[in-house]
């Protein structure tokens, strides 16, 4: 559904004998050599590629299983399951964030080679990283939840949160779809 390696690679723009990486919306492009680029992609694949994903899944299952075993064997209480689940979530987030910010760490302190990209171009690049299947799926699910919440007329705070959240998500992904469709016509 989502090719994480392709999305990661789109952050780099070919330039002379290497690539440009824009560390932020207002930052200029910083030069990344071909070997550095290949190393960054390899690191990303080790986390978000097929093998990296399976390693993460295995680690999550192991952490949660150890928490459940510890709770049952040592009778330490329900909190061990909660701690193991939160530990597994922290592991996944930490692995992805570390790999995601590797390019920023690499170019930190390097001079800008080119000026910052225009905001419209940055937004277009961000939209290009989202595949149509993901946009359509999220739009359909969030719209379905919104309609279901509307049909019951929310009475609790949590129900209102679901209504507002799903409506906002539906509207946001609808707008992204419209903009992405316009981007296709401009090419």
pLDDT in tens, 61-75: 999 999 988 888 887
**Three-state DSSP state, 111:** coil
Q: Is 142 exposed, middle or buried (0-12, 13-18, 19+ CB in 10 A)?
A: buried
3 pLDDT more than 90? no
pLDDT at 2: 63
pLDDT at 174: 97
- Please state the rounded mean pLDDT for residues 22-35: 91
**Residues of the chain above pLDDT 70, percent:** 98
The tens digit of pLDDT for each residue in 113-167 reads 999 999 888 888 888 888 899 999 999 999 999 999 999 888 899 999 999 999 9
170 close to 146: Cβ distance less than 8 angstroms: yes
pLDDT at 187: 62
The tens digit of pLDDT for each residue in 8-21 reads 888 899 998 999 99
Sequence-separated (6 or more) residues with CB below 8 Å from residue 91:
56, 59, 60, 63
pLDDT at 21: 94
Distance, in Å, from the CA atom of 179 to the CA atom of 169, rounded to the nearest integer, reads: 15
Nearest Cα to 106, choosing from 21, 187, 4, 44? 21
pLDDT at 76: 81
- pTM to 2 decimal places: 0.72
pLDDT at 103: 95
């Amino acid at each position: 559904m989502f090719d994480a390696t392709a999305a990661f690679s789109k952050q780099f723009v070919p330039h002379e004998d290497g690539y440009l990486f824009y560390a932020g919306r207002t930052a200029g492009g910083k030069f990344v050599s071909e070997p550095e680029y290949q190393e960054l992609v390899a690191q990303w694949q080790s986390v978000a590629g097929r093998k990296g994903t399976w390693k993460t899944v295995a680690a999550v299952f192991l952490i949660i299983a150890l928490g459940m075993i510890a709770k049952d064997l040592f009778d330490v209480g329900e909190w061990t399951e909660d701690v193991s689940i939160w530990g597994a979530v922290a592991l996944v987030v930490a692995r992805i964030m570390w790999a995601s910010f590797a390019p920023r760490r690499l170019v930190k302190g390097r001079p800008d080679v080119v000026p910052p990209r225009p905001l419209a171009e940055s937004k277009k690049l961000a939209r290009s990283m989202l595949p149509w299947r993901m946009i359509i799926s999220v739009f359909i699910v969030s719209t379905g939840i919104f309609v279901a919440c509307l049909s019951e007329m929310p009475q609790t705070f949590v129900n209102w949160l679901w209504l507002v959240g799903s409506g906002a998500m539906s509207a946001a992904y609808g707008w992204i779809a419209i903009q992405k469709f316009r981007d296709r016509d401009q090419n």
